[in-house]
Amino acid sequence: MKFLSIVAIEGLVLASSLFNVVQAASAGCGKAAKLKAGTNTMTVNSKTRDWILTLPDNYNNTKPYRLIFGIHWLTGTSSDVANGGSIQPYYGLPPLANNTAIFVSPNGLKSGGSTGWANSNGEDITFIQEIVKAVEADYCVNEKLRFSMGFSYGAGMSYSIACTLGKDFRAVAALSGALLSGCVGGTDPVAYYGQHGLSDSVLPIASGRQLRDTFVKNNGCTPQSPPEPTKGSKTHIRTVYSGCASDKPVWWTAFDGDHTPIQADNTGPNKDTTFTGKSVWEFFSQFS
């Protein structure tokens, strides 16, 4: 009986998500895009802002794609995320997304010699909104499938996006983050993935827990103190919160390590290969 009722519910969900896909196709669907892949610029709040657009192979303007923002860390650049170097491009997501997503890497503003996401008077949130508009006017995006992820300052900015644009973004992932870019709003439920190192020497894990708990509350999850690996184990533990609104999950990955977006376990089948991209893609790809 249980199995049958689950099948019936899945039928309904499938029918409604197909409907949503049709409803959520952006204005750019069916259009010949003028906006080019690579670096683009726009003026936001009287400042010139630049960002990188990365298209899937064989982009097809009749298919609504996911839109995924990858946001850089303090002193990082849009190129560090889009092209990789110290990390895999876009934190390792593109091979897993397998050409089902359009990626964007925005560039932060320089202040005092470093580039970041101070989001003064909401200007970085406005920048994100303007990029969404520009991409979706020209490219075919499923407007119900917008995502943001980032490390450190980029996690703070992704958190700020969840706070302020929670109705517009399907999910965010904050890697080793803290409250750095503000939280205007902050009361909407948003699917939330948090990840943090136990021994983070830059932004202590307490700051990551604090961000997470905003969405534990907003999403109606049962509060808990998730298990954490023992120090010295070089492993990670992922906790899927219970009690959350069904389409607003919260996942929390605590790892035995420092301030890094490329942590790997030193045991198990994926020894020495970072779990970050795989874990975040598992979170993002559950929404369709």
Which residue shows structure tokens 């870019």? 181
Residues near 192 by beta carbon (within 8 Å), at least 6 away in sequence: 162, 171, 172, 173, 174, 212, 215, 219, 248, 249, 250, 251
* Total number of residues that touch ligand NAG (CB under 6 A): 4
Q: How far is the CB of 91 from ligand NAG (least distance, A)?
A: 18
Residues near 260 by beta carbon (within 8 Å), at least 6 away in sequence: 176, 197
**Which of 86, 98, 224, 270 is in the footprint of ligand NAG by CB under 6 A?**
98
Q: Are the beta carbons of 109 and 47 closer than 8 angstroms? A: yes
- 89 vs 96: CA distance, rounded Å: 12
Identify the three-state secondary structure at position 124: helix
Task: Determine, following the binding rule CB under 6 A, whether residue 57 of this chain makes contact with ligand NAG.
Answer: no
200-226 core/surface letters (b: 16 or more CB in 10 A; e: else): beebbbebbbebbbbbbebbebeeeeb
Select the span of 59-67, 224-232, 256-264, 275-283 touching ligand NAG (CB under 6 A): 59-67
Select the span of 49-57, 58-66, 124-132, 165-173 touching ligand NAG (CB under 6 A): 58-66
Side chain identity at 265, as an amino acid letter? D
Task: Determine, following the binding rule CB under 6 A, whether residue 62 of this chain makes contact with ligand NAG.
Answer: yes
Token couple for 115: 């580039």
Task: Determine, following the binding rule CB under 6 A, whether residue 63 of this chain makes contact with ligand NAG.
Answer: yes
Select the span of 29-37, 57-65, 107-115, 158-166 touching ligand NAG (CB under 6 A): 57-65
Task: Determine, following the binding rule CB under 6 A, whether residue 267 of this chain makes contact with ligand NAG.
Answer: no
- Phi, psi values for residue 53, rounded to 5°: -105, 125
Select the span of 56-64, 75-83, 124-132, 204-212 touching ligand NAG (CB under 6 A): 56-64
Task: Determine, following the binding rule CB under 6 A, whether residue 60 of this chain makes contact with ligand NAG.
Answer: yes
Strand-pair category, 191-197 with 250-255:
parallel
Residue among 62 and 222 whose Cβ is closer to ligand NAG: 62
- 104 vs 269: CA distance, rounded Å: 31
Task: Determine, following the binding rule CB under 6 A, whether residue 31 of this chain makes contact with ligand NAG.
Answer: no
Per-residue x/- track, 1-30, ligand NAG (CB under 6 A): ------------------------------
Residues 147-176 interacting with ligand NAG (rule: CB under 6 A): none
Would you tell me which residues interact with ligand NAG (CB under 6 A)?
60, 62-63, 98
